[in-house]
Amino acid sequence: MSEQPAKELPPVNHEMVTLARESRGLLQSQAAKLLGLYQGRLSKIESGLTSADEDIRRKLSAVLCYPPEFFSLKNSVFGPGTSEFFHRKLQSTPARKLRQIHAEINIRIIHIERLLRAIDIEKDNIPRIDLEERRWSVSDVARAVRATWNLPPGPVQTVVNSIEAAGGLVIPCKFDCVNIDALSRYIPGLPHLFFVDDSLLGDRLRMTLAHELGHAVLHRLPNPDMEDQAFQFAAEFLMPEKEIRPQFDQVTLAKLGTMKQVWKVSMAALLKRAGDLGKISPDMKRYLWTKMSKSGYRTREPAEFDVPIEEPRMLKQIIEVHQNDLGYGLGDLSKLLFLDKEEAQLKYNIVPSKTESKLRLRAI
Ligand SMILES: [Zn+2]
């Protein structure tokens, strides 16, 4: 990464320096130390007050592990977007971690924009519905989305496939942050993007995706009730009242466990739904809640009821089209994404194509 760039590159874009540094979770002072610069110098470079010469570009490339070309990119850097406007847990996330996640998302957006250049993707079919204009309830909206997508009654078989069939793109990421399960972004010209942490259990992945879908459908503009609305949307989308209500007779923990396997949502989500629909009394709900706590289910529900983890397919297919139809090897893909081979492979689960493996065998 530290070798001299072969051709003269366009000047360093200061925004990319900040993006690269933040994506590595470094404070400006830490990065300056690693670069052998005074923090003031780095600060001026990042603010665009001083330009970065080729020597600094080489150092940036070596320290922050992005190729020299990355620092010349002119891509827009996007802010958090509406879905995070009233996100409660984000308030308690350390600022550096949050900046790292936002930088990571911006870099992923650069990747996706580049990966989609060679691929014809249809406009997504995610409805955008204004509650006030239609005078609908949030549950009406969730039912409308299910109807638009022709989902059969009952449990949603796979949330990831439903979103991807409607043209959304689910991108597994490593947020490494207890406060953040998923974040979504609407960037004009790209499919609606759903970034999800790849360590989530199956039920949680479905719930967080349904919640982000709620934001995508309902919240072009933020409003103070948007978090509750996204949760209500997810509840009706995954557990439609009409079909689940009759199943909430005589709720016990064992019954919640059985229902979890059918509806593929957590026992906790089912218990909350039963309470919200008035199928169990507040006392009963409290009793079951306490029983779940005492059994340790609030931390980890029993493994025997685990919901299979849904695998996003679209991003995988986009990578495969590059490999199989466009002849991209791992080296080409890593160049396209401005990552070294190892990071490209890790981030996008790239399985070397057959021709690459053959070549490697021949080389040995
Ligand atoms: Zn939310």
Cα–ligand 1 centroid distance for 20 (angstroms):
27
Q: Residue 132: what pLDDT?
A: 85
How many domains does the chain contain in total?
3
The yes-or-no verdict on residue 285 having pLDDT over 90 is yes
Q: Residue 127: what pLDDT?
A: 94
Sequence-ordered alpha helix ranges (H) in the chain:
14-23, 28-35, 39-47, 54-64, 95-115, 131-134, 138-148, 159-165, 202-218, 226-238, 241-244, 253-263, 267-276, 282-294, 314-320, 330-337, 341-348, 354-363
Cα–ligand 1 centroid distance for 60 (angstroms):
35
The answer to whether residues 55 and 86 belong to one domain is no
Cα–ligand 1 centroid distance for 140 (angstroms):
19
CATH of the domain at 16: 1.10.260.40
Kindly report, residue by residue over 167-194, the tens digit of the pLDDT.
999 999 999 998 899 999 999 899 999 9
Cα–ligand 1 centroid distance for 15 (angstroms):
28
Q: What are phi and psi of 184, to 5 degrees?
A: -125, 155
* Containing structural domain, residue 154: 79-238
**Residue 302 included in any domain:** no
Give the per-residue SS3 of 235-285.
Answer: HHHHCCHHHHHHHHCCCCHHHHHHHHHHHCCCHHHHHHHHHHCCCCCHHHH
The yes-or-no verdict on residue 31 having pLDDT over 90 is yes
Cα–ligand 1 centroid distance for 322 (angstroms):
33
Question: Average pLDDT in the 261-269 region?
Answer: 98
358 vs 42: CA distance, rounded Å: 45
Cα–ligand 1 centroid distance for 24 (angstroms):
25
Question: Average pLDDT in the 143-168 region?
Answer: 97
Q: Which residues lie closer than 8 Å to 43 by C-beta, 6 or more apart?
A: 28
Q: If we measure between CA atoms, which residue out of 153, 181, 156, 180 comes closest to residue 166?
A: 156
Cα–ligand 1 centroid distance for 78 (angstroms):
18
Cα–ligand 1 centroid distance for 234 (angstroms):
10
Cα–ligand 1 centroid distance for 196 (angstroms):
13
The answer to whether residues 85 and 220 belong to one domain is yes
**Residue 248 included in any domain:** no
The answer to whether residues 100 and 232 belong to one domain is yes
Kindly report, residue by residue over 84-123, the tens digit of the pLDDT.
777 777 778 888 999 999 999 999 999 999 999 999 887 7
Cα–ligand 1 centroid distance for 311 (angstroms):
22
Identity of the residue numbered 173: C
Cα–ligand 1 centroid distance for 132 (angstroms):
19
Q: Are 211 and 231 in contact (CB under 8 A)?
A: yes
Q: If we measure between CA atoms, which residue out of 114, 91, 99, 90 comes closest to residue 30?
A: 99
